[in-house]
Amino acid sequence: MQGIAQAANIPLGEIFLYNVFYEFNAFCTSIVAETPSGEIHHARDMDFGLLMGWDTQNDTWLLTEKLRPLIVTGDFTRNNQTIFKAVSFAGYIGVLTGMKPQKFSLTVNERYSVKGSGLSGILKWILGQRTGSWMGFLTRDVFENVDTYAEAKAVLSSKLLIGPIYFIIGGVNSGEGAVLSRSIEKTIDTHDLDAKNGTWFVLETNYDRWKAPLFIDDRRTPATRCMNEMGAANATLANLFNVLNTKPVLNKLTVYTSLMNVKAGILETYIRFCADPCWPW
Protein backbone atom coordinates (compact mmCIF):
# COMPACT_ATOMS: atom_id res chain seq x y z
CA MET A 1 0.00 0.00 0.00
CA GLN A 2 2.90 2.35 0.70
CA GLY A 3 4.16 1.88 -2.84
CA ILE A 4 0.71 2.61 -4.27
CA ALA A 5 0.44 5.73 -2.12
CA GLN A 6 3.83 6.99 -3.29
CA ALA A 7 3.19 6.22 -6.97
CA ALA A 8 -0.29 7.78 -6.92
CA ASN A 9 0.73 10.68 -4.66
CA ILE A 10 -2.15 9.85 -2.33
CA PRO A 11 -1.84 9.77 1.49
CA LEU A 12 -1.22 6.28 2.83
CA GLY A 13 -4.20 6.59 5.18
CA GLU A 14 -6.55 7.11 2.25
CA ILE A 15 -5.14 4.07 0.46
CA PHE A 16 -5.65 2.01 3.62
CA LEU A 17 -9.29 3.13 3.94
CA TYR A 18 -9.85 2.29 0.27
CA ASN A 19 -8.53 -1.22 0.95
CA VAL A 20 -10.76 -1.92 3.96
CA PHE A 21 -13.99 -0.27 2.81
CA TYR A 22 -15.49 -3.57 1.59
CA GLU A 23 -15.46 -4.82 5.19
CA PHE A 24 -18.71 -2.96 5.86
CA ASN A 25 -20.35 -1.71 2.64
CA ALA A 26 -21.18 -3.98 -0.31
CA PHE A 27 -23.99 -5.97 -1.89
CA CYS A 28 -23.26 -9.01 -4.07
CA THR A 29 -24.64 -12.26 -5.48
CA SER A 30 -22.50 -15.42 -5.80
CA ILE A 31 -23.38 -18.84 -7.24
CA VAL A 32 -21.50 -22.14 -7.44
CA ALA A 33 -23.17 -24.81 -9.59
CA GLU A 34 -22.42 -28.42 -10.52
CA THR A 35 -23.49 -30.03 -13.80
CA PRO A 36 -24.58 -33.69 -14.09
CA SER A 37 -21.07 -34.51 -15.37
CA GLY A 38 -19.48 -33.02 -12.23
CA GLU A 39 -18.28 -29.77 -13.84
CA ILE A 40 -18.07 -26.88 -11.34
CA HIS A 41 -18.95 -23.32 -12.37
CA HIS A 42 -18.64 -20.22 -10.18
CA ALA A 43 -20.21 -16.83 -10.97
CA ARG A 44 -20.77 -13.54 -9.20
CA ASP A 45 -22.24 -10.05 -9.51
CA MET A 46 -20.22 -7.41 -7.67
CA ASP A 47 -22.52 -4.67 -6.35
CA PHE A 48 -20.87 -1.69 -4.67
CA GLY A 49 -21.57 1.97 -3.86
CA LEU A 50 -24.79 2.01 -1.84
CA LEU A 51 -25.53 5.37 -0.15
CA MET A 52 -22.32 6.91 -1.53
CA GLY A 53 -24.22 9.59 -3.44
CA TRP A 54 -26.95 9.43 -6.07
CA ASP A 55 -26.75 11.18 -9.46
CA THR A 56 -30.30 12.51 -9.88
CA GLN A 57 -29.76 13.43 -13.54
CA ASN A 58 -28.56 9.97 -14.65
CA ASP A 59 -30.19 7.85 -11.91
CA THR A 60 -26.92 6.18 -10.95
CA TRP A 61 -24.81 5.72 -7.84
CA LEU A 62 -21.80 8.07 -7.92
CA LEU A 63 -19.29 5.61 -6.43
CA THR A 64 -20.48 2.75 -8.64
CA GLU A 65 -19.83 4.88 -11.73
CA LYS A 66 -16.36 5.82 -10.48
CA LEU A 67 -15.40 2.20 -9.80
CA ARG A 68 -16.18 0.82 -13.25
CA PRO A 69 -13.14 2.41 -14.96
CA LEU A 70 -10.92 1.02 -12.17
CA ILE A 71 -11.77 -2.65 -12.82
CA VAL A 72 -8.67 -4.74 -13.56
CA THR A 73 -8.15 -8.45 -14.17
CA GLY A 74 -4.68 -9.67 -13.30
CA ASP A 75 -2.51 -12.75 -13.41
CA PHE A 76 -0.41 -12.90 -10.25
CA THR A 77 2.86 -14.68 -10.92
CA ARG A 78 5.78 -16.21 -9.06
CA ASN A 79 8.91 -17.35 -10.90
CA ASN A 80 7.15 -16.60 -14.20
CA GLN A 81 4.29 -18.97 -13.31
CA THR A 82 0.69 -17.85 -12.75
CA ILE A 83 -0.20 -18.45 -9.10
CA PHE A 84 -3.74 -17.07 -9.26
CA LYS A 85 -6.03 -14.78 -11.24
CA ALA A 86 -8.15 -12.06 -9.71
CA VAL A 87 -10.58 -9.28 -10.55
CA SER A 88 -10.03 -6.12 -8.57
CA PHE A 89 -10.07 -2.35 -8.57
CA ALA A 90 -6.88 -0.43 -9.28
CA GLY A 91 -5.18 0.30 -5.96
CA TYR A 92 -6.93 -2.50 -4.05
CA ILE A 93 -4.50 -5.21 -2.95
CA GLY A 94 -6.92 -7.77 -1.50
CA VAL A 95 -8.94 -10.37 -3.41
CA LEU A 96 -12.74 -10.24 -3.65
CA THR A 97 -13.06 -12.38 -6.78
CA GLY A 98 -10.36 -14.83 -7.78
CA MET A 99 -9.32 -18.25 -8.98
CA LYS A 100 -6.31 -20.50 -8.57
CA PRO A 101 -6.33 -22.55 -11.80
CA GLN A 102 -6.96 -26.26 -11.25
CA LYS A 103 -7.23 -25.58 -7.48
CA PHE A 104 -10.12 -23.42 -6.25
CA SER A 105 -12.14 -20.24 -6.80
CA LEU A 106 -13.35 -17.71 -4.27
CA THR A 107 -15.78 -14.82 -4.05
CA VAL A 108 -16.65 -12.74 -1.01
CA ASN A 109 -20.06 -11.31 -0.08
CA GLU A 110 -20.75 -8.92 2.75
CA ARG A 111 -22.76 -10.44 5.62
CA TYR A 112 -24.97 -8.08 7.57
CA SER A 113 -25.15 -8.84 11.26
CA VAL A 114 -26.35 -6.60 14.07
CA LYS A 115 -24.01 -8.47 16.43
CA GLY A 116 -20.40 -8.10 15.37
CA SER A 117 -20.73 -5.92 12.27
CA GLY A 118 -17.83 -4.96 10.03
CA LEU A 119 -18.05 -1.37 11.24
CA SER A 120 -17.82 -2.41 14.90
CA GLY A 121 -14.86 -4.63 14.04
CA ILE A 122 -13.07 -1.70 12.42
CA LEU A 123 -13.71 0.46 15.47
CA LYS A 124 -12.28 -2.26 17.71
CA TRP A 125 -9.20 -2.45 15.49
CA ILE A 126 -8.73 1.32 15.69
CA LEU A 127 -8.98 1.09 19.50
CA GLY A 128 -6.24 -1.54 19.61
CA GLN A 129 -8.11 -4.89 19.54
CA ARG A 130 -6.26 -6.29 16.53
CA THR A 131 -6.67 -10.07 16.74
CA GLY A 132 -8.83 -10.39 13.62
CA SER A 133 -7.75 -10.52 9.98
CA TRP A 134 -8.82 -8.00 7.38
CA MET A 135 -10.89 -10.01 4.93
CA GLY A 136 -9.19 -8.83 1.74
CA PHE A 137 -5.71 -9.41 3.10
CA LEU A 138 -6.71 -12.89 4.32
CA THR A 139 -8.05 -13.90 0.91
CA ARG A 140 -4.88 -12.60 -0.76
CA ASP A 141 -2.81 -14.72 1.63
CA VAL A 142 -4.95 -17.79 0.89
CA PHE A 143 -4.42 -17.41 -2.84
CA GLU A 144 -0.69 -16.94 -2.40
CA ASN A 145 -0.07 -19.79 0.02
CA VAL A 146 -2.86 -22.40 -0.16
CA ASP A 147 -2.99 -25.03 -2.90
CA THR A 148 -6.14 -27.11 -2.34
CA TYR A 149 -9.88 -26.53 -2.05
CA ALA A 150 -10.00 -28.39 1.27
CA GLU A 151 -7.22 -26.33 2.82
CA ALA A 152 -8.70 -23.05 1.55
CA LYS A 153 -12.05 -24.03 3.05
CA ALA A 154 -10.41 -24.90 6.38
CA VAL A 155 -8.44 -21.64 6.60
CA LEU A 156 -11.40 -19.45 5.66
CA SER A 157 -13.58 -21.34 8.16
CA SER A 158 -11.30 -20.80 11.13
CA LYS A 159 -9.47 -17.47 11.00
CA LEU A 160 -10.58 -14.64 13.27
CA LEU A 161 -11.98 -11.75 11.21
CA ILE A 162 -12.55 -8.04 11.53
CA GLY A 163 -16.19 -8.41 10.48
CA PRO A 164 -18.78 -11.03 9.43
CA ILE A 165 -18.61 -12.23 5.83
CA TYR A 166 -19.67 -14.93 3.40
CA PHE A 167 -16.89 -16.86 1.69
CA ILE A 168 -18.14 -18.65 -1.43
CA ILE A 169 -15.66 -21.24 -2.72
CA GLY A 170 -15.57 -23.62 -5.65
CA GLY A 171 -13.24 -26.40 -6.74
CA VAL A 172 -12.64 -28.87 -9.53
CA ASN A 173 -14.26 -32.08 -8.24
CA SER A 174 -17.87 -33.07 -7.66
CA GLY A 175 -19.16 -31.61 -4.39
CA GLU A 176 -16.47 -28.94 -4.19
CA GLY A 177 -18.55 -25.85 -3.63
CA ALA A 178 -19.71 -24.15 -0.45
CA VAL A 179 -20.95 -20.99 1.22
CA LEU A 180 -19.25 -20.32 4.55
CA SER A 181 -21.32 -18.02 6.75
CA ARG A 182 -18.80 -16.37 9.02
CA SER A 183 -19.07 -14.41 12.22
CA ILE A 184 -15.99 -12.63 13.52
CA GLU A 185 -15.04 -15.65 15.63
CA LYS A 186 -16.22 -18.72 13.74
CA THR A 187 -18.18 -20.33 10.91
CA ILE A 188 -21.83 -20.50 11.94
CA ASP A 189 -23.07 -22.37 8.86
CA THR A 190 -21.56 -24.30 5.93
CA HIS A 191 -23.76 -24.90 2.90
CA ASP A 192 -22.09 -27.50 0.67
CA LEU A 193 -22.83 -28.69 -2.82
CA ASP A 194 -24.42 -32.14 -2.70
CA ALA A 195 -25.70 -32.87 -6.19
CA LYS A 196 -26.50 -36.51 -5.43
CA ASN A 197 -29.05 -35.34 -2.86
CA GLY A 198 -30.46 -32.48 -4.92
CA THR A 199 -28.24 -29.56 -3.92
CA TRP A 200 -26.62 -28.92 -7.30
CA PHE A 201 -26.06 -25.21 -6.62
CA VAL A 202 -25.40 -22.92 -3.69
CA LEU A 203 -26.37 -19.28 -3.91
CA GLU A 204 -25.62 -16.36 -1.60
CA THR A 205 -26.58 -12.70 -1.60
CA ASN A 206 -26.06 -10.82 1.67
CA TYR A 207 -28.42 -12.52 4.11
CA ASP A 208 -28.29 -15.76 6.09
CA ARG A 209 -29.98 -18.54 4.13
CA TRP A 210 -32.13 -19.59 7.11
CA LYS A 211 -33.62 -16.09 7.35
CA ALA A 212 -35.77 -14.09 4.97
CA PRO A 213 -33.85 -11.41 3.08
CA LEU A 214 -34.62 -7.76 3.65
CA PHE A 215 -37.96 -7.18 1.91
CA ILE A 216 -36.60 -4.26 -0.14
CA ASP A 217 -33.53 -6.26 -1.21
CA ASP A 218 -34.67 -9.74 -2.21
CA ARG A 219 -32.27 -10.85 -4.94
CA ARG A 220 -32.20 -14.40 -3.56
CA THR A 221 -35.74 -15.36 -4.61
CA PRO A 222 -35.51 -14.39 -8.31
CA ALA A 223 -31.98 -15.81 -8.62
CA THR A 224 -33.05 -19.11 -7.05
CA ARG A 225 -36.12 -19.28 -9.28
CA CYS A 226 -33.95 -18.76 -12.35
CA MET A 227 -31.52 -21.47 -11.26
CA ASN A 228 -34.33 -23.98 -10.68
CA GLU A 229 -35.92 -23.17 -14.04
CA MET A 230 -32.55 -23.53 -15.76
CA GLY A 231 -31.74 -26.91 -14.19
CA ALA A 232 -28.40 -28.60 -13.63
CA ALA A 233 -28.23 -29.96 -17.18
CA ASN A 234 -28.17 -26.40 -18.53
CA ALA A 235 -25.73 -25.00 -15.97
CA THR A 236 -23.21 -23.37 -18.29
CA LEU A 237 -21.24 -20.18 -17.69
CA ALA A 238 -23.40 -18.47 -20.30
CA ASN A 239 -26.60 -19.44 -18.52
CA LEU A 240 -25.20 -18.40 -15.13
CA PHE A 241 -24.51 -15.02 -16.72
CA ASN A 242 -28.18 -14.92 -17.73
CA VAL A 243 -29.22 -15.60 -14.14
CA LEU A 244 -27.02 -12.76 -12.90
CA ASN A 245 -28.40 -10.58 -15.69
CA THR A 246 -31.93 -10.89 -14.29
CA LYS A 247 -33.29 -7.81 -12.51
CA PRO A 248 -33.09 -7.12 -9.60
CA VAL A 249 -30.05 -9.44 -9.32
CA LEU A 250 -28.61 -7.00 -11.85
CA ASN A 251 -29.23 -3.53 -10.47
CA LYS A 252 -27.85 0.01 -10.35
CA LEU A 253 -25.11 -1.06 -7.94
CA THR A 254 -23.76 -3.84 -10.16
CA VAL A 255 -20.20 -3.00 -11.18
CA TYR A 256 -19.16 -6.24 -12.85
CA THR A 257 -20.08 -9.88 -13.44
CA SER A 258 -17.40 -12.60 -13.25
CA LEU A 259 -17.59 -16.17 -14.52
CA MET A 260 -15.10 -18.85 -13.44
CA ASN A 261 -14.31 -22.46 -14.20
CA VAL A 262 -11.35 -23.60 -12.12
CA LYS A 263 -10.67 -26.80 -14.02
CA ALA A 264 -10.51 -25.01 -17.36
CA GLY A 265 -8.69 -21.99 -15.91
CA ILE A 266 -11.41 -19.61 -17.11
CA LEU A 267 -11.96 -16.20 -15.51
CA GLU A 268 -14.12 -13.82 -17.53
CA THR A 269 -15.29 -10.42 -16.30
CA TYR A 270 -17.86 -8.07 -17.81
CA ILE A 271 -18.45 -4.45 -16.84
CA ARG A 272 -22.17 -4.08 -16.17
CA PHE A 273 -24.77 -1.36 -16.57
CA CYS A 274 -28.44 -1.71 -15.73
CA ALA A 275 -30.77 0.12 -18.11
CA ASP A 276 -33.96 1.67 -16.79
CA PRO A 277 -36.32 0.56 -15.48
CA CYS A 278 -33.86 -0.84 -12.94
CA TRP A 279 -33.94 -1.36 -9.18
CA PRO A 280 -31.42 0.86 -7.33
CA TRP A 281 -30.05 -2.15 -5.38
The CB-based long-range contact list for 189-193 (8 Å cut-off, 24+ gap) reads 190/157, 193/32, 193/34, 193/40
Handedness of CA 102, 156, 213, 122 (dihedral sign): negative
Per-residue burial over 96-135, b if 16 or more Cβ lie within 10 Å, else e, is bbbbbbebbbbbbbbbbbeebbbebbbebbeeeeeebebb
Supply the residues annotated as catalytic.
28
Between CA 123 and CA 125 the distance in angstroms is 5
Residues 6+ apart with CB under 8 A from 61: 49, 50, 52, 53, 54, 55, 252, 253, 280
Q: Could you count the other beta carbons within 10 Å of the beta carbon of residue 279?
A: 15
